[in-house]
Amino acid sequence: MRPDFQMLDRSKTYLITGSAGFVGFHLSKRLLDLGCTVIGFDNLNDYYDVSLKQARLDILLSASSSFTFVKGDLADKVAVDGLFATYSPSVVVNLAAQAGVRYSIDNPYAYLQSNLVGFLNILEACRHNPVSHLVYASSSSVYGMNDKIPFSTADKVDSPVSLYAATKKSNELMAHCYTHLYGIPSTGLRFFTVYGPYGRPDMAYFSFSKKIMEGEAIKVFNNGDMYRDFTYIDDIVKGMENMLCNPPLENEHGDRYKIYNIGNNKPEKLMYFIETLEQCLGKKAVKEYLPMQMGDVYQTYADVSDLEADFDFKPNTPLSDGLGSFVSWFKEYYTH
């Protein structure tokens, strides 16, 4: 544990972009439950079911009067600058992005606008409206074609296999530049296959559940020979909660810049994941076996030693428990 570790400061104002998204919703809800002031920013785009985003947002709006929602787009510089000028956030958590590895193959320009132009607008806003900490979402996708496991933040990540991954690596480089030039304390988080209630419908566990319950075949890529470091949403949120009021210490170059992996540190084989999901749903899947899909990687595996050293924390929710919680929510949500 860092000797200077600070507990979450409830007096600060937290800006969370992508607050109607999966991770943004859960983090916002946690901060509101702890009595914090949260400003949510989201464009509610239609990449996936907008009604699910609205359902998350409705929960936040009813959870606390300390939540303020502003609808807007990261790529709109005027909107982002106005957001900072109006609410003067102390801690900024940038989770808004165009998500999805496979979608980036067919819709590349969406990623440039949201993930590059949008992130630049956030950096510029932090430059001109100083903040105590900028936390932003990167991705395990940046490891691309890396063979060494587990994936370490000390590894070179110069071989992305999707445009999505390339934009996330670009975010890390952009943040480093702004930290070095303008002293913005920044922390990048490489998330590893996050799952849980109110998750994203485009993720495998969600789409598999829907197809299994409807009796449709699920597509099993690389004939099931793939591994993923599945990370339950509550572990992600706990890790972020620990970090928000603990910006990086100065590194050897005098920059307050850090990258962390947040993963379960326990890769699961895709076929075991499907078997566990079947058990939770109480129904067997019809499987269609296919070769590896473009943009996919064989395995992900997070080295979380820095996370443990600095915060005495590592994700540890077993897959069976996490999928059980997801399925309970899934069945309730889609039967009402």
Give the position of tokens 């996708």. 141
Residue 189 CB coordination number (10 Å)? 23
For 236, the enclosing helix (H) or strand (E) is helix 233-243
Overall size of the chain counted in residues = 336
* Relative orientation angle of helices 22-33 and 50-63, to the nearest 10 degrees: 10
Taking CA 218 as the corner, what is the angle to CA 104 and CA 224, rounded to the nearest 5 degrees?
A: 85
The pair of structure tokens assigned to 143 is 């490891």
Told to judge if 260 belongs to the known catalytic residues of this protein, a careful annotator would answer: no
Could you tell me which residues come within 8 angstroms of residue 266 by beta carbon, excluding any fewer than 6 positions away?
A: 229
Exactly one of 14, 48, 143, 164 is catalytic; name it: 164
Note the helical H segments in 144-231: 163-182, 204-214
Distance CA 196, CA 232 (A): 6
- What is the largest distance, in Å, between two alpha-carbon atoms of the chain? 57
Using DSSP bridges, classify how beta strands 13-17 and 133-139 pair: parallel, antiparallel or unpaired. unpaired
Taking CA 60 as the corner, what is the angle to CA 58 and CA 62, rounded to the nearest 5 degrees?
A: 70
Report whether 96 contacts 18 (CB < 8 A).
Answer: yes
Distance CA 48, CA 208 (A): 15
Phi, psi of 212 (to 5 degrees): -60, -45
Distance CA 137, CA 171 (A): 9
* Relative orientation angle of helices 204-214 and 319-333, to the nearest 10 degrees: 60
Active site residues: 164
